Chain A
Amino acid sequence: MKDLNSNTPFDVEKVRMDFPILSRTVNGKPLIYFDNAATSQTPQQVIDVIVDYYSNYNANIHRGVHTLSQEATDKYEEARQTIQKHFNAEHTHEIIFTSGTTHSINLVANGFASFLNKNDTVLVSALEHHSNIVPWQMLCEKTKATLKVIPMTSEGTLDMTAYEDLLLLNPKLVFVNHISNALGTINPIEEMIQKAHLVGAAVLVDGAQACPHIKPDVQALDVDFYVTSGHKMCGPTGVGMLYAKESWLHKLPPYQGGGEMISDVTFEKTTYADLPHKFEAGTPNICGGIAFGAAIDYMNSIGFEVIAAYEHELLEYATEKLNAIEGMQIYGPTTNKTSVISFNIEGVHAYDLGTIVDKLGIAIRTGQHCAQPIMDFFKVSGTARASFCFYNTKEEIDTFVEGVKKASMMLR
């Protein structure tokens, strides 16, 4: 078993023991989970934190004088610090807990509604997930600002010349994902942020697909807003974060009104709470926040360099094996991408392929991946997408490739 995976010092079999779900079967076959770009699996270490929270210190936070409330508050705020350190934010209060990437984006979009007017332009990349397109369309409808799209090249990377031309329009905001969910393309966000700042535009980076693979440094990037979800990085669903520079958080109006986010309320006027609470109305997902912190600790215990190196090996191995299948078409760039393979086989519908490999116990994604503009660009109705995580193995890839061959034989 080890031989195939021996190129790295990483013991995948040991890591797999941390994930109870990996020992289950699907349709009588051992589960092979290749839908990691949609959601990652949860290690026992994180599950234990969730169980511990509800077994020992479940309480509402920030308000109670009793012991449970204080314990829960401490753990929740410790998780915020874990996230702050992980992303290297300057201040803890620059980390806002949200329900996930989509919520984070909507929070910023809603805030910008008060800054934009019909003379303003905002840029969005052509490689976006629907969650990073629709909120901006809604924002532009509301403010009458113009939404312009940074086009992509036939390789599935952003057209940087066109981007520079668009910056001449002096946009107020640029929205781009760090890594494309449909293609795995790593966007040159550092360069894009620098160039945007030269014309005075703020930049929001959607890191949902990047954070499971790399460790972004928000200060080094000098990014204005960075958003991600816990469930893509071995944490639970329903929790995520918004990082924003302190100055922006002071400028942006609150997103939702309610408890927790106020300091003083009379019927005449409400004074908002300090950061980060101004943006955290109501009782938050306390357990989720704590578990998100635990998930980040777990990933760091393995190490992001080790993760990236191992996943790259899986990507290269799978790409080579899949490319040997007759009629295989892989979409997107071949280099500078994460462990995502979006593909089609000539004469085979992605939905059919997904259905047959599911019968073999293999979970992949099929369809448009919430990125219809990218599918339109490649003139396909959808693709099959296999995305790998550090707990996957080359043996699983072998089984998957055999499954794809078997399915194509049945379906053609």
Chain B
Amino acid sequence: MNIKTIQADLIDEFCMFDDWMDRYEHMIDLGKSLPLINPKFKTEDNIIKGCQSKVWLHADLENEKVVFTADSDAIITKGIVAILIRVFSNQSPNTILNTNTNFIDEIGLKEHLSPTRANGLVSMVKKIKMYALAYQTQIEL
């Protein structure tokens, strides 16, 4: 699916909720529905630094698209990573590298965007982009 459409869908979904509790509950539900990462990828190397909770992120290249899988021991963090995966997974490295994270602001989760927050959203995005860059290079070679 087009990355812009996915973002628009997410924004519509979150706009249905007026108060923060419903938005968080939705995010928690998204976290719970995150497909399980293969346990063999839950390694120290795949842990994203900068989070109070543990986040593992793994990426594969399938048909020139980057497929992300992830997990976290904290459910809100898992919700955040689920949102990112929904947007960035199954996209070409080039699309990932050229997409910003403004949608996070628009779904009312702006507070998570600050680099000083302990949830590590910024670190997650950085890691996603790093994988995309690595696979982009691999394709070009």
Contact = CB atoms under 8 A, between A and B. Distances in A.
Interface of A: 27, 349-352, 355-356, 359, 366-367, 381-382, 410-411
A366 B52 contact: yes
B74 A351 contact: yes
Given A351-B76, A351-B119, A367-B52, 4 more contacts: A351-B74, A359-B24, A366-B52, A410-B25
Given A27-B20, A366-B52, A367-B118, A351 B77 contact: yes
B20 A352 contact: no
B74 A352 contact: yes
Contacts of A352: 53, 74-77
Interface in B7-48: 20-21, 24-25, 28
A411 B118 CA distance: 18
B21 A410 contact: yes
Contacts of A359: 20-21, 24
A77 to B, nearest CB: 38
Interface centre among A351, A356, A382, A411 (most CB of B within 10 A): A351
12 contacts: A349-B53, A349-B73, A350-B52, A351-B119, A352-B74, A355-B76, A355-B119, A356-B76, A366-B52, A367-B118, A381-B73, A382-B52
B103 to A, nearest CB: 20
Interface string B39-64: 00000000000001110000000000
- Which 4 residue pairs across A and B have the least CB separation, nearest first? A349-B74, A351-B52, A351-B53, A351-B74
Contacts of A411: 28, 75-76
A169 to B, nearest CB: 35
Contacts of B20: 27, 359
Contacts of A356: 24, 76
A408 to B, nearest CB: 11
A356 B25 CA distance: 10
A307 B75 CA distance: 38
Interface in B74-111: 74-77
Interface centre among B53, B73, B119 (most CB of A within 10 A): B53
Given A366-B52, A381-B73, A382-B52, A351 B24 contact: no
Contacts of B24: 356, 359, 410
Contacts of B118: 351, 367
Contacts of A366: 52
Interface centre among B74, B75, B119 (most CB of A within 10 A): B74
Contacts of A382: 52
A27 B20 CA distance: 10
B28 to A, nearest CB: 6
A56 B28 CA distance: 54
Contacts of A367: 52, 118
Contacts of A27: 20
A411 B74 CA distance: 9
Contacts of B52: 350-351, 366-367, 382
A218 to B, nearest CB: 37
A359 B76 CA distance: 13
Contacts of B74: 349, 351-352
A154 to B, nearest CB: 24
A381 B54 contact: yes
A295 B73 CA distance: 41
Contacts of B75: 349, 352, 411
Interface centre among A355, A359, A367 (most CB of B within 10 A): A355
Interface centre among A349, A350, A359, A367 (most CB of B within 10 A): A349
B82 to A, nearest CB: 14
A2 B21 CA distance: 32
A292 to B, nearest CB: 27
A27 B24 CA distance: 14
Contacts of A349: 53, 73-77
